[in-house]
Amino acid sequence: MSNSMQEKKKDRRKLPITKGEVEIRQKMTVEELARAMGKDIDHIYEALLYTDIDVDSLEPDSILHEDSIKLIVKKSGMKYKSAKLREEKEKENKDAVKRPPADPAFLTPRPPVVTIMGHVDHGKTTLLDSLRKTQVAAMEAGGITQHIGAFLVPLVLAVNKCDKPEANPERVKKELLAHDVVCEEFGGDVQAVNISALKGDNLMVLAEATVLLAEMLELKADYTGLVEGTIIESRKDKGKGPVTTAIIQRGTLRKGCVLVAGKTWAKVRFMFDENGKAVDAASPSIPVEIMGWKEVPSAGDEILEVESEQRAHEVVAWRTYVEQQEKMKKDGAVIEAKQKEHRMEYEKKQQNLAHLTWRQRKAALYKANKHLMLLKPKERAETDKNVLSIIIKGAFMFFLLPH
């Protein structure tokens, strides 16, 4: 045999080793390792069947420990080499934050933000309708205006439905003492006004009490600089796209401003007041509906104005990255706990099989894990298809009371 033929045979013998080399790195997912090995995900699960790793707890995006990665590669008859990784620099915090507090000398008086809170059917919408002389009740079509979460505020107590013969406002005020709501007539600082929202009785007195309280509080705000605010409501409108209702707390919002809230951003296209009329600007304490969001943010999210669209992208990317890192930590902790539990069970099983020969042990393990080999990742996912996740949010405080 010629030397050239022998060399070709040697090359053919070396070829499988070259192909069988897998470049590995730390924190590889099941899916990434399968791709690096040129295998499907099922192969990874099967390689882990006779180990102390709980296959049922793994998903394609589950992160594998380095020891597990090496074990899978070896059991697959392949070799591994560590990837030359660049040292990952700690990412610079690109988040947007509120400005430092303004100099009190430059603050300007602002209107109060009045929240009407009360139990269902105690007349909140009728009171708004009467105060603003608008058709809020008709627009709401019987819905309940409970869009703002509970928080501690200076109170003006409106005892509603006092036009009814059975009304007993004094009983209501006395019962509120048990909840630390002390009216002025009992030595407290809460103004109480007996009203009838339906008939309009004492509504001017209620308005004057609210204005008086606002004047006593000397409410002021900074009308200049980058905008800060809070989202009160958010929804996806068929005609307008993602829309939010917000209260501006600092600065003056204008069309063209670039805002971030949560993990989304907006370039303000249009703004509308509470009557649906287009406006060009919104200053502190003014509620406004904002169009131009890329996605729907969440109620309660903080709104911050940034200098440019590029800056908005940076902020959203940073917040998404932080959320992913936190999720990875939580997922890692859950997986680690499951794997620890499984390792203990595995060691217990191994002790029970210690008296058997290696062939008997292998046969026993195969019999015990045969059902897992038949179960594909897709089938495991199918079992979760009909699970409905529910998030319940919100709180509600009751201050507008009937007789």
Cβ 302 vs Cβ 261: under 8 Å: yes
Buried/exposed 303-315: b ≥16 CB within 10 Å, e otherwise: bbbbeeeebbebb
Alpha carbons within 13 angstroms on the beta-carbon side of residue 79 total 9
Cβ 309 vs Cβ 258: under 8 Å: yes
Domains of the chain: 1-83 (no CATH), 104-221 (3.40.50.300), 228-308 (2.40.30.10)
**Residue 337: exposed, middle, or buried by beta-carbon count in 10 A (0-12, 13-18, 19+)?**
exposed
pLDDT tens by residue, 13-57: 332 333 578 888 877 888 888 898 888 888 888 888 767 777 777
CA distance 366 to 374: 12
Which residue has tokens 């049922």? 56
CA distance 139 to 385: 38
Give this prediction's pTM: 0.62
* Both structure tokens of 3: 């030397």
What is the DSSP code (8-state) at residue 273? -
The per-residue pLDDT string of the chain (403 residues; one tens digit each, 9 = 90 and over) reads: 444 444 433 433 332 333 578 888 877 888 888 898 888 888 888 888 767 777 777 788 888 888 888 888 888 888 888 876 544 456 889 999 999 999 999 999 998 888 887 777 777 778 877 776 634 444 444 333 333 333 348 889 999 999 899 989 999 999 999 988 899 989 998 899 999 888 888 888 888 888 888 888 899 999 999 999 999 999 999 888 999 999 999 999 999 999 999 999 999 999 998 888 999 999 999 899 999 999 999 999 999 999 999 999 999 999 999 998 888 888 778 877 877 787 787 778 778 777 877 777 777 777 776 665 555 544 544 444 444 444 333 333 334 444 4
In this structure, is the dihedral angle defined by the CA atoms of residues 63, 67, 68 and 71, taken in order, positive or negative? positive
Chain-centroid distance, C-alpha 49: 36
Look at residues 156, 161, 217 and name the one whose alpha carbon lies nearest to residue 191: 156
Question: In Å, what is the CA distance from 239 to each residue of 197, 236, 294, 348, 402?
Answer: 34, 9, 14, 62, 39
Alpha carbon dihedral 269, 273, 275, 277, in 10-degree steps, equals -50
Cβ 232 vs Cβ 246: under 8 Å: yes
pLDDT tens by residue, 343-365: 787 778 778 777 877 777 777 77
Alpha carbon dihedral 346, 349, 354, 357, in 10-degree steps, equals -90
pLDDT tens by residue, 204-215: 888 888 888 888
Beta bridge partners of 157: 192
CA distance 99 to 250: 10
SS3 assignment, position 304: strand
